[in-house]
Amino acid sequence: MKKRIMIVGPTQSGKSTLANVLNDTTRPLKKTQDVIYGKNTIDTPSSYLENPSMYKYLIATAQTASHLIIMVDQSRLAEIYPPGFAKTFTCPVIGVINKTDLIPENALQAAQQFKKIGVTKPFFWISLTNDPGVEALKRHLNLV
């Protein structure tokens, strides 16, 4: 069985859009309370992250993942991840900073969030509207 890449992030951080890009599909984007299994991804609802009592579902779902992508929205720097969150998972954790084109001056603060979360480099800075960072992420995940 091929393992998928699990994507975690706050509301409107670009999880489903990134899942579509990594799956090479155009699934309609809508808020859902369901975990969505794509060809290459596991798209998790933001409510699982935003409600600490739901962390157990993220941890359980990650057991079937090859990698975990933790997303930070550079345009909205709310710190919703608890300190050391990345250390909870046994699979490799990758930091993805999205919406880099919207507020470029937040780049350093976005990267600093990963230190608190426990995500190590490399980080990937992407804009899902038009960015070579997406291709670098795909290469890192062996999806090209």
Q: What confidence tens digit (pLDDT) does each residue in 44-67 have?
A: 999 999 999 999 999 999 999 999
Domains and CATH numbers, the chain: 4-140 (3.40.50.300)
Closest CA to 62 of 53, 54, 73: 54
Q: What confidence tens digit (pLDDT) does each residue in 109-134 have?
A: 999 999 999 999 999 999 876 677 89
**pLDDT higher than 80, residue 72:** yes
pTM (2 decimals)?
Answer: 0.92
